[in-house]
Chains A and B, each alone.
Chain A
Amino acid sequence: MLSYAIRRLAVAVVLAFGVATVCFALVWFAPGDERSDLLLSGRGAVVDTGPEPGLVEAYGDWVGSLLRGDLGTSERSGNVARWLLARLPHTLALSVSGLVLAVVFGVGVGVLQAARAGTVLDRLLTLGTVVAYSAPAFWVGILLGGAFIHKPMELGMEPLFPLTGVAPPGGATSLLDYIPYLVLPALTLGIVLGAGIARYTRAAMLEALAQDYVRSARARGLSEMRVLFRHGLRTALLPLISLLGVYLPVLLTGAVFVETVFSRTGIGLAMMEAILGQDLQVLMGGALMFGFAAVVGNLIADLLYGWADPRIGDAVRG
């Protein structure tokens, strides 16, 4: 298991390096005169340092500053690393809570559908998850705003949650203050991503339930619940873990839209503003962060998978 972990880690490092190189290459080979500002800003405030360096030198400098955690400086936003890191907690809180909701919602609905396969309930839920799966996140966000804020107000009640922002006006006094602001955005992400997980869980459960060992479990007289959860879900969940690794970047890009709808000052909104403001430094920093997040997500999924499925570790050992 340890050597497996080390091997995955090594692959992740190589992958992260690859992501960074692709980012660099995209900017370097792009037409226009942006590259000098963008790739050379890591060289400190001095831009006018004689002849422009060649590809190799510029790449070396750029990787060097990247390793020091220096993402350059943008005229609009100042120190890019500082600008993005200040926003990272809001995006992480949103992504993690969105993911938890997506798993709870997706697995729950998927299991229910598999247990009631072929019934009207199953078909209705299929329709619902397909709609939610294909719905754009911003649209779901607006609907939720209507359902939890505007509708109650029309009925003369106080809104249930704040609509936009990350903390009360004037600032949070404790961590609890942030939670009401997280509900609608996390729910939005949870619904959109959870629909995909539900679709997947249903299919995997049905496949697992058709296996011989499930039939023999039933034959042994185990309760249906026990069959469903111990024999069906456990088998079906394994591949879900690797699916979650793939979901991490989807969560982050989903955050771009969700943060925009709910005016949450996270990395997603910063990216949106950077696109409109042609702030290439911030865009590139954000792209790198998202790319690294994808690599880390996959690494975690691989490790979890190795831990959850003994066959993987065995294969490596053998």
Chain B
Amino acid sequence: MAHLRPIRALGTGALIVVAACGGDAPDRPELPPLAVSSDVPFCQSVAQAVNAYHAEQSAAHPRPADPRYGGTVVVAGGGDFRGGLNALTTGDQTDQETELHLLHVTLTRFAADRTPEPYLAESWTLEDDGSGITFRLRDDVMWHDGQPVTAEDVVFTYRRAMDPATGFLNVGWFQFYDADAVEALDDHTVRFAFTPHAEVMDPFSNMAIMPQHLLGDVPPAEMGGHPFGTDCPVGAGPYVFEAYRPGDQWVLRANPAFPEDLGGRPFLDRYVYRVIPSSSTRAGELAAGGVDVALGLEPVDAEAVAARDGVRLAAFDSRSFSFIGWNPRLPGLSDVRVRRALTMALDREALLETLRGEYGTRVETGVPDFHWAYDPDLQGPPHDPEGARAMLDEAGWTDRDGDGVRENQAGDELRFDLVTNSNTERETIARIMADELGDVGVAFDLQVVDNQTLGARLGNPTNRDFGSFILGFAPDFNINERDFFHSSSDATGYGWSALNDPELDRLLDTLPRIRDRDQARPLWAEYQQRIVELQPYTYLFFSQRLNGLNADLAGVEMDLRGELINVPAWYWNPETN
């Protein structure tokens, strides 16, 4: 059965009609040679080396005849990677995934069952007493400029990440590491030393290795704004950086030299990430064929995608939850009764139903129901506006001047800033929240900013001038909320709602040291109970991630581990395309 079907010829705007029958290879033209260019001095020689090595390797490893090879995929997401693709300085979800799975490599990576499997490290040995681990690295992984990846790069990366001057967001991973925790035993062997602790393997799948030969001379404090991240990021992963057009797109090219054992050359020649801030525009572009994958759709757009021919919806559990954060440094919010009352005044069940419909699950803490430490018996504060009013009265906040907003004895109003990013879902939460909490006499002044500004405002330990905020967060598989709630986290980036509670501190100090899960479980239940009592956040829901895909795009895996985990194995279905 022969049938004709037009495909878009990417890059030319013309139409090419191919006959897709009898397994004929689709005609996908080879791309012109890689031409990274930059007007930044640091990047000029880097770009030259990358272009030369890519040309050499493309000649040495021509595209296989398998019809799955070739073509471009265009992925649309809501935010630009302003900080670039330097894994030491970035922290947003999509840029992190782009680093971990496309541009860079990690020591290990998560298999489907969430256990670590070999990647840059071909094997490892955990010491019996749990005080160290030694990795044996592959010797066939090359930086995109042709230099070999060695143990020195691993040492450099982890040392920089642990150095507070770098400002690496997840320093919490290294809480139990010795000061000189990482050393190279030879060119391809690295040892880490630490105090025995739980979930030791987790960081190794999350920390992308950075090139020591390019960044070694950059002072840690200058890593953030360094042009390496935006103008010439060099990795060792399956995709090579090609171009960045600020606010518009990131273009990556298949790495022909990626080791066969690790998947070899990716099927798709080119990976383009486009910035399209609005969810409905992303869905519209997917329907119009302008993009092939639309990430992070809102439920209403996801339903439109699900109803259309030629596209399909990938809905899967994600690690991301939404919450309202409180600033416990402020009068009013420092009182646990006030925080509890705020949670009780909000109808969280109705909120979830309104916003996510079937694509979400209620939560009471940051420990999701798919996590081994989850306590199924946990009860959160009920929806009880009357109870909330009584509790606020008891805390000394009453409406003394009859204007509908409560005051304390000094006459200060129970009124807070509410900061969130521009996103329909969050703005809706803000409106419902202002409404329902207004009913019990608490007032909010809404401020809508963009992602990056929100992050900068919340993450600045020296100036925490917000009252409350609505945010989403995706924890690692290893949950460690020390950076958020421990009294010592007040001085760190994530410590926006840091509490000063000795009981919670004790749990946060103890939990990460217990290596045996069965032993840790009762303590985890205690921890979740304490979080519910203290209400540093009003927890809303875990969202399912909703991505729209072109139905001809095959081989796509998206799950709890992420949505870009297997991009090198994506391909255009030769039967239909």
Contacts and interface: CB of A to CB of B under 8 A. Distances in A.
Interface of A: 76-78, 83, 86-87, 145, 149-150, 153, 158-159, 162-166, 168-171, 173, 177, 180, 261, 263, 265, 269-270, 273, 276-278
Contacts of A261: 281
A149 B11 CA distance: 19
Contact of A278 (B277, B284, B290, B453): B453
B511 interface: no
A46 B270 CA distance: 42
* Of listed A87, A171, A263, residue having the most chain B CB within 10 A: A263
Contact of B448 (A145, A159, A173, A276): A276
Contacts of A168: 10-13
B255 to A, nearest CB: 16
Nearest to B276: A263
A163 B281 contact: yes
B272 A170 contact: yes
Interface stretch (B100-108, B246-254, B330-338, B548-556): B246-254
A153 B287 contact: yes
A29 B251 CA distance: 43
Contacts of A159: 288-290
A170 B247 contact: no
B15 A276 contact: no
6 contacts: A162-B288, A168-B12, A169-B274, A170-B10, A177-B13, A270-B247
A180 B13 contact: yes
Given A159-B289, A169-B72, A277-B450, A263 B249 contact: no
Contact of A76 (B274, B288, B452): B452
A277 B419 CA distance: 12
B276 A169 contact: no
Contacts of B12: 168, 173, 177
A86 B281 contact: no
A170 B285 contact: no
B295 to A, nearest CB: 14
A229 B450 CA distance: 52
A168 B9 CA distance: 10
A158 to B, nearest CB: 7
Contacts of A150: 284, 287-288
A169 B248 CA distance: 10
Nearest to A145: B284
Contacts of B11: 168-171, 173
Interface in B146-184: none
B272 A165 contact: no
A168 B278 CA distance: 19
B290 A164 contact: yes
B6 interface: yes
Nearest to A263: B276
Contact of A170 (B270, B276, B449, B452): B270
Q: Is the interface of A mostly helix, strand, loop or mixed?
A: loop
Contacts of B245: 171, 265
Interface of B: 6, 10-13, 15, 31, 72, 74, 82, 225, 242-243, 245-249, 251, 270, 272, 274-278, 281, 284-285, 287-290, 422, 448-450, 452-453
Contact of B251 (A78, A86, A169, A263): A169
A79 B249 CA distance: 19
Nearest to B15: A158
* Of listed B277, B284, B288, residue having the most chain A CB within 10 A: B288
A214 to B, nearest CB: 48
B275 A263 contact: yes
A277 B247 contact: no
Given A163-B284, A263-B277, A170 B251 contact: yes
Contacts of A263: 274-278, 281
B123 to A, nearest CB: 39
Contacts of B285: 163-164
B452 A277 contact: yes
Contacts of A76: 82, 452-453
A105 B528 CA distance: 65
Contacts of A273: 247, 450
A165 B248 contact: yes
Contacts of B422: 276
A98 B49 CA distance: 43
B251 A158 contact: no
A231 B496 CA distance: 72
Contacts of A86: 246
Given A165-B290, A169-B72, A170-B272, 7 more contacts: A86-B246, A162-B290, A169-B272, A171-B251, A173-B12, A265-B245, A276-B449
A277 B449 contact: yes
A97 to B, nearest CB: 17
Contact of A163 (B247, B251, B288): B288
Contacts of B74: 169
A177 B274 CA distance: 17
* Of listed A86, A162, A165, A278, residue having the most chain B CB within 10 A: A165
Contact of A276 (B246, B289, B453): B453
A150 B272 CA distance: 23
Contacts of B6: 158
A173 B246 CA distance: 18
Nearest to B269: A170
Contacts of A166: 248
A261 B97 CA distance: 27
Question: What are the 6 tightest A-B residue pairs by CB atom distance, in nearest-first order?
Answer: A276-B450, A169-B272, A265-B248, A277-B450, A159-B288, A265-B247
B276 A149 contact: no
Contacts of B289: 153, 158-159
Contacts of A165: 248-249, 274, 290
B249 A169 contact: yes
B485 to A, nearest CB: 28
Contacts of B243: 171
A144 B82 CA distance: 31
* Of listed A153, A158, A164, A166, residue having the most chain B CB within 10 A: A164
A270 B450 CA distance: 13
A159 B285 CA distance: 10
* Of listed A77, A171, A173, residue having the most chain B CB within 10 A: A171
Contacts of B31: 170
Contacts of B453: 76, 276-278
Contacts of B288: 149-150, 153, 159, 162-163
Nearest to A262: B281
A159 B291 CA distance: 13
* Of listed B225, B243, B247, B270, residue having the most chain A CB within 10 A: B247
Nearest to B450: A276
A225 B247 CA distance: 50
A173 B13 CA distance: 11
A270 B284 CA distance: 22
Contacts of A145: 284
A270 B247 CA distance: 8
A145 B15 CA distance: 21
A164 B74 CA distance: 13
* Of listed B225, B276, B281, residue having the most chain A CB within 10 A: B281
A20 B119 CA distance: 57
A286 to B, nearest CB: 13
A8 B289 CA distance: 50
A277 B278 CA distance: 16
A163 B270 contact: no
A165 B225 CA distance: 26
A69 to B, nearest CB: 16
A149 B249 CA distance: 22
B169 to A, nearest CB: 17
Contacts of A269: 247
Contacts of B278: 263
B279 to A, nearest CB: 12
